[in-house]
């Protein structure tokens, strides 16, 4: 089997930069658990789709072999730096560029010194691959791509991995409900900003736990709009596509607020 594990995680830096804040620490602990599960699944490569890497023209794939730098989040700069040290599975990334182009999704590799690596990708790398043992494939969220196209991207990435005999872990990085606190809060009291959105998140998580893909696919468009979900929940579309459109159940390692928005750490059990 090509896909050996799959995860959905939040891309906010808050659990990483301030895990001693109890609500955020719970998410950080869940991310650690997900990281252990990922390692135990023994992938050759981790494929990461992050909502925060925004593309507009093409589908972008990182093709620089080694990314090592410090990033400072645009909004959460006061919490300090986000160091990263990421190796790229360039063979798989290059293959994905060719394959997505062949599928009619215009794609490009990016290989530039100081190309901005998004916070979500860095959070995924730092929690799930802390010692930088495994190479990554990183791809962008093109804002003009819809759910179907994003599922297709996940499918294509896995098909290429299979051709190269790679075992892969899939990581979709993005938030759940999107209402946030716009003002400064007492971070120890952080909670989901909207009760309605909290209900929606819980409903979706419970459908995932049951592996009820059919109902999920029905509910996701409504969930995305009513709960202001990060980028239309396309990170889940990518994961779903990568899993071949199905999974048997999911484990919620953590769920909670990140400055009012919903964050969940999920591990999917494959079909």
Residues that bind another protein (CB under 8 A): 53-57, 70-72, 74-75, 77-78, 80-81, 106, 110, 112-116, 144, 180-184, 259
Give the DSSP per-residue string, 5-25. EEEEE---SHHHH-TTSHHHH
* Cβ 239 to another protein shortest distance, Å: 23
Q: Which is nearer to another protein, 62 or 129 (CB)?
A: 62
Q: Which is nearer to another protein, 39 or 101 (CB)?
A: 101
Q: Which is nearer to another protein, 55 or 161 (CB)?
A: 55
CB 69, CB 84: distance < 8 Å: yes
* Cβ 60 to another protein shortest distance, Å: 8
Which residues of the chain form beta strands (DSSP E)? 3-9, 45-55, 59-62, 66-71, 82-87, 107-110, 136-142, 168-173, 247-258, 261-270
Q: Which is nearer to another protein, 70 or 98 (CB)?
A: 70
* Cβ 53 to another protein shortest distance, Å: 8
Q: Which is nearer to another protein, 114 or 133 (CB)?
A: 114
Residue 186: beta bridge partners? none
Sign of the torsion formed by the C-alpha atoms of 13, 15, 19 and 24? positive
* Cβ 162 to another protein shortest distance, Å: 30
Please list, in sequence order, all residues whose beta carbon lies within 8 angstroms of the beta carbon of residue 243, skipping any fewer than 6 positions away.
Answer: 3, 6, 154, 170, 268, 270, 271
The percent helix, strand, coil of the chain (3-state, each to 5) is 40, 25, 30
Q: Which is nearer to another protein, 131 or 189 (CB)?
A: 189
* Cβ 140 to another protein shortest distance, Å: 9
Q: Is 41 exposed, middle or buried (0-12, 13-18, 19+ CB in 10 A)?
A: middle
* Cβ 156 to another protein shortest distance, Å: 19
CB 262, CB 201: distance < 8 Å: yes
């Amino acid at each position: 089997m090509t896909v050996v594990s799959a995860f959905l995680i939040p891309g906010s830096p808050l659990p990483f930069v301030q895990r001693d804040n109890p609500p955020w620490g719970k998410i950080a602990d869940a991310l650690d658990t997900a990281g252990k599960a990922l390692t135990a699944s023994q992938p050759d490569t981790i494929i990461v789709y992050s909502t925060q890497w925004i593309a507009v023209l093409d589908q972008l794939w990182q093709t620089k072999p080694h990314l090592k730098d410090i990033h400072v989040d645009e909004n959460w700069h006061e919490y300090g730096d986000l160091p990263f040290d990421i190796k790229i599975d360039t063979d798989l990334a290059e293959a994905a560029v060719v394959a997505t182009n062949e599928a009619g999704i215009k794609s490009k590799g990016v290989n530039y010194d100081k190309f901005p690596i998004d916070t979500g990708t860095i959070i995924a790398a730092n929690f799930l691959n802390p010692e930088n043992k495994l190479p990554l494939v990183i791809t962008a969220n093109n804002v003009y791509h819809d759910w179907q196209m994003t599922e297709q991207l996940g499918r294509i990435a896995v098909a290429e991995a299979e051709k190269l005999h790679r075992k892969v872990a899939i990581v979709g990085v993005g938030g759940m409900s999107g209402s946030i606190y716009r003002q400064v809060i007492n971070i120890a009291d952080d909670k989901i900003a909207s009760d309605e959105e909290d209900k929606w998140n819980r409903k979706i998580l419970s459908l995932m736990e049951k592996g009820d893909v059919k109902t999920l696919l029905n509910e996701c468009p409504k969930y995305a709009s009513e709960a202001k979900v990060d980028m239309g929940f396309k990170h889940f579309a990518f994961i779903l596509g990568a899993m071949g459109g199905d999974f048997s159940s999911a484990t919620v390692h953590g769920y909670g607020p990140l400055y009012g928005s919903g964050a969940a750490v999920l591990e999917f059990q494959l079909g």
